[in-house]
Amino acid sequence: MKRKWMAGLLTAAVVMGLAGCGSGNKTEPAGTTAGEAAAETTKEAADQKEAEQEKVELELFLSKTEIQPVMEELAKKFEEENPNIKINITVTSDGRTVLQTRLSTNEMPDLLNTYPAEQFYKDMFREGIMIDISDQEFLNQVSQESRDMTVCDGKYYALPYSVSAFGIYCNNRLFEQQGIELPTTYEELIAACDKFQAAGIQPMVSIDKELGNIAQRFERLVGVINNDSNSEFEKIAKGEIKAEDSVALNTIADVMYKLYGYSGDDSLGVDSNIGYAAMANEEAATMLCGTWGLTTLRNNNPDVDVVLIPFPNPTGEKTNVPINVDCSFSVCTNTKHPEEATMFLEFLSRTENAQTYCDADGNPNLIKGVEYKVSEHEQINAAIQSGDTFLTAVNFWPNSLREELRTPVQQLFIDGDKEEFLQSCDTAIKSFYNQ
């Protein structure tokens, strides 16, 4: 960029110098003054400079599909402030797989949303795939406590932007119509589902066609049962206990199969589009999901009336809410425009822009000064504020273990074979922990 800008100036200087040197011998066309000729020469030089100055294009890779509209809005605002920069947004629902493919072909984007507390992304940080932004002043827009959730070997590679929490959405109108109280225990949840089913109302939406959704629900609920499931899995890997003796795995098998029975006749054919639409249009009473889901529910029905409550611990022990650093933004090392890409992170760190994101996204935002005004999440936010939370298990399990376990869970839905499910978990845990 700098060279081209200098080249434009040099070109203008040379053109004007030649015009000045030759003015004694040059005959101007009739009616053209020397001043007009000089002005024309200056305009030609300026046009040449503008033509030579290429617009910088940055690719922003999003694996969090529901934020595409608000990120397009923010990108447009950024482009208005920086007319020489263009943000091109790429969206995929299978971020890990696509990133691994692009990494293997050295085709990484300039910018991307990351989940910096997760091992998958920490591995990329350690391998130098993302730029270290520890010295960037805009990180001070995030509290030290929030930054600490994303630190990797004492360094920061991402701008933490929001935190998500997982629970169960309840359709308020359906609960009110049936005279059912919002459940606070697992037994109350099952009783509520039975009442809805008896009334001919589908108790729950389950997006069981998508393995990624199954994997996330499994991992989040295992954590609700045992906030430190990683320690239990380590014992299985060492041979100290078997999966069949694991309280967490036995309980999660029973819970997920039980809830599957409340999810309609064809939940294995339900994808996100179908599932969110059914919940938003009151075709079902509840849906396991996180704070990120509110945006999609509202997009399906602006008048949707839901509340997100903590999923009650099935063991009867204290209920804590699984949270995660939901969305952060990083710059890839291979970008040709690190300065411009980092400028976009600084732009996102401004309170007014983070507020725009927060209002659309529905997750609690980590940027200082942002107000969280989401009534649907009051109960979840109260749990966050009181500290009744835990950092979800995917941040501690070996990389890709969650993805490995999603197929056994789906198979459990199909055949109900708990013994086979536990054996598959035992094999996967020993394989991934002992690598």
For the segment 165-190, what is each residue's pLDDT rounded down to a tens digit?
A: 999 999 999 999 999 999 999 999 99
What is the predicted pLDDT for the residue at 46? Answer: 54
3-state helix, strand, coil in the chain (%, to 5): 55, 15, 30
Handedness of CA 387, 292, 212, 266 (dihedral sign): positive
**Could you tell me if 126 and 90 are in contact, meaning their C-beta atoms sit under 8 angstroms apart?**
no
Distance between CA atoms of residues 131 and 335, nearest Å = 10
Domains defined along the chain, listed by start: 56-164+324-377 (3.40.190.10), 165-322+393-434 (3.40.190.10)
pTM of the model: 0.75
Measure Cα distances from 371 to 20, 70, 145, 186, 354 in Å. Answer: 61, 17, 18, 32, 10
Q: Select from 389, 266, 277, 403 the least CA-distant residue to 324.
A: 389
CA angle 152, 165, 412 (to 5 degrees): 100
What is the predicted pLDDT for the residue at 93? Answer: 83
The count of residues in the chain is 435
Helix (H) or strand (E) holding 87: strand 85-91
Q: Select from 225, 215, 287 the least CA-distant residue to 252.
A: 225
Distance between CA atoms of residues 301 and 280, nearest Å = 6
Tokens of 415: 């055949």
Over residues 94-112, the pLDDT tens digits come to: 888 899 999 999 999 999 9
**Could you tell me if 287 and 279 are in contact, meaning their C-beta atoms sit under 8 angstroms apart?**
yes
Per DSSP, the three-state class of 350 is coil
Amino acid occupying residue 197: Q
What is the predicted pLDDT for the residue at 40? Answer: 62
For 413, other C-beta atoms within 10 Å of its C-beta total: 19
What is the predicted pLDDT for the residue at 96? Answer: 87
What is the predicted pLDDT for the residue at 322? Answer: 96
Distance from chain centroid for Cα 249: 27
Q: Select from 399, 411, 374, 435 the least CA-distant residue to 124.
A: 399
177-186 in b/e form (b: 16+ CB < 10 A) is eeebeebeeb
Block means of pLDDT (10 residues each) for the chain, 435 residues, are 36 36 41 55 56 81 94 98 98 90 95 94 96 98 90 96 96 98 98 98 96 94 97 96 95 97 95 97 97 93 97 97 94 98 98 95 91 92 87 92 94 96 97 94
Distance from chain centroid for Cα 297: 17
Distance between CA atoms of residues 249 and 233, nearest Å = 9
157: which DSSP letter? -
